[in-house]
Amino acid sequence: MAGSLALVLLAPVAWQAAAQSSAQAIPDAPKPQGLSIGPIAPGIGTTPENAGLPSAQSSSDAGAPPSSLPAATQAVKDEGPPPDVPQAGQGPEYVIHARVNFVEVPFTVKDSKGNLVAGLTWRDVRVNENGLRQQLALFTTDPFPLSVALVIDQSMTYDNMTKVNNALAALQGAFASYDEVAVFTYNNGPRMQTTFTGAQSARLTAVLERSKSTGREPIFYDTTGPLGQNINLNGGALANIDPNTNSTHGRSMSGIQNVPRESHTLNDAILAAATALSKAPKGRRRVIYVISDGKEYGSQASVKEVIKYLQTNKIAVYGTLVGDSSLPVIGFLNHMHLPLSMRDNVLPAYTIATGGNLDGEFRQKGIEESFARIAREARTQYTIGYYTHEPFIDGKYRTIEVKVMRPGLTVIAKKGYYPTASDAMSGVQRTR
């Protein structure tokens, strides 16, 4: 009995000893050869920042792809490295170590309803020069202070001039205190009323008041009454014998008077404003703001010559168009110019070539509201910059095309530029 009880008590001990001896007899599984993966924590992986190691990969797997994305997303290969994007508020004072081939292009983007579009990034923009895509080196949305040369047409008819005179009181409210404004007027020729002064200064207020004019009376030619006809006797042998008739009729048998030529020297006025504006310091947006009916006749400078000067000196032309030319149908007909006749509206040629814009208003209230719209549009532009691959100082015109990679948007930018020697400042810091 006692022997049987001892065997029962000793059986578990013997079984455990047998199990241990059998477990030691089983060999270990083969280990991987030539592979070192380091310590791995479940759910964490082997990145250096998570594993706490200098490097998560050994020399044996140096050619393997990384196990995580880089900290900063790399730019797409066809876009190249990202451009310099200054912090908010630093755009106007941004300092560029400019080489001789840096090109700056401000532009405006509008939707199908004519509203300004905000929120674009540099990835949404493409720029071509002479048909070749350029790599962006600068992108900023900061507003720039304005240097504005205001050009007021005094050759308009008295009714349009009255609307402009009454609306000038609202002009100063469109500008900020850090803007500067010079005032030019023209009739038979341009005249500077004041050089650049503070946009909110009392001096500008007095100059705008002094720049008001009565305009000119509309000319009406009566070709049906007795004084509108020549008096001819004997089939024209004795012509214009009545001293009360107009001697300028000559021997015209039609009785239509010779229309006197009016002077609307808009080209010369824009050129005079551009000459003063070309001396504005760097880092300011150069703008010519024209208030006119757009008529041009009698200027010494041509439209082509003035546009070249504007594109050379980075000047944009904006305008508020008043009078009949501001009406859609008449404005369209004005594009059909007859040789040797007065051009009814040349302002679109300036605004399109320089990246500006034109706002047509017929009523006084609309003219007042256009001042704020034009100033806001000129101030809140996108600005990009790139280094051209063309020889910079060759004097040849270069075309520029700015595109936005979003559907339904319109881009307003200058069509091109002329390189100048003033841009050749290699190795010098420049404030743009």
pLDDT tens, N- to C-terminus, the chain (432 residues): 555 555 555 555 555 555 555 445 556 655 555 544 455 444 444 444 444 444 444 444 555 555 444 444 444 445 667 777 776 766 665 544 445 578 899 999 999 998 999 999 999 999 999 999 999 999 999 888 999 999 999 999 888 999 999 999 999 999 999 999 999 999 889 999 999 999 999 999 999 999 999 887 765 545 555 555 555 555 555 454 555 555 554 444 444 455 556 788 999 999 999 999 999 988 899 999 999 999 998 999 999 999 999 999 999 999 999 987 666 544 444 444 444 444 568 999 999 999 999 988 888 898 999 999 999 999 889 999 998 888 767 778 999 999 999 999 999 999 999 987 665 553 334 444
Sign of torsion over alpha carbons 403, 408, 412, 415: positive
Tell the residue number behind the tokens 């050619």, with chain if given: 63
In sequence order, which residues have a C-beta less than 8 Å from that of residue 326 and are 6 or more positions away?
Answer: 293, 360, 361, 362
Q: What are the backbone angles phi and psi of residue 298, rounded to the nearest 5°?
A: 95, 5
Contact 293, 204 (CB under 8 A): no
At 219 the pLDDT is 56
At 254 the pLDDT is 45
The CATH 3.40.50.410 domain(s) of the chain lie at 146-218+264-379
At 431 the pLDDT is 46
pLDDT tens digits for range 93-146: 554 444 557 889 999 999 999 899 999 999 999 999 999 999 999 999 988 899
> What is the secondary structure of 127-172 as a DSSP string?
EEETTEE--EEEEE-PPPPEEEEEEEE--SBHHHHHHHHHHGGGTG
In sequence order, which residues have a C-beta less than 8 Å from that of residue 221 and are 6 or more positions away?
Answer: 228, 256, 257, 259
The CATH 2.60.40 domain(s) of the chain lie at 89-143+380-432
One-letter identity of residue 48:
P
The reported pTM is: 0.68
At 20 the pLDDT is 55
Beta-bridge partners for 233:
238
At 428 the pLDDT is 38
Count of Cβ atoms closer than 10 Å to residue 36 Cβ: 10
Pick the CATH number of 146-218+264-379 from 3.40.190.10, 2.60.320.10, 3.40.309.10, 3.40.50.410: 3.40.50.410
Pick the CATH number of 89-143+380-432 from 3.40.50, 3.30.70, 3.30.160, 2.60.40: 2.60.40
Contact 322, 156 (CB under 8 A): yes
Contact 312, 417 (CB under 8 A): yes
CA-based Rg of the chain, rounded to a whole angstrom?
Answer: 38
Distance CA 152, CA 346 (A): 15
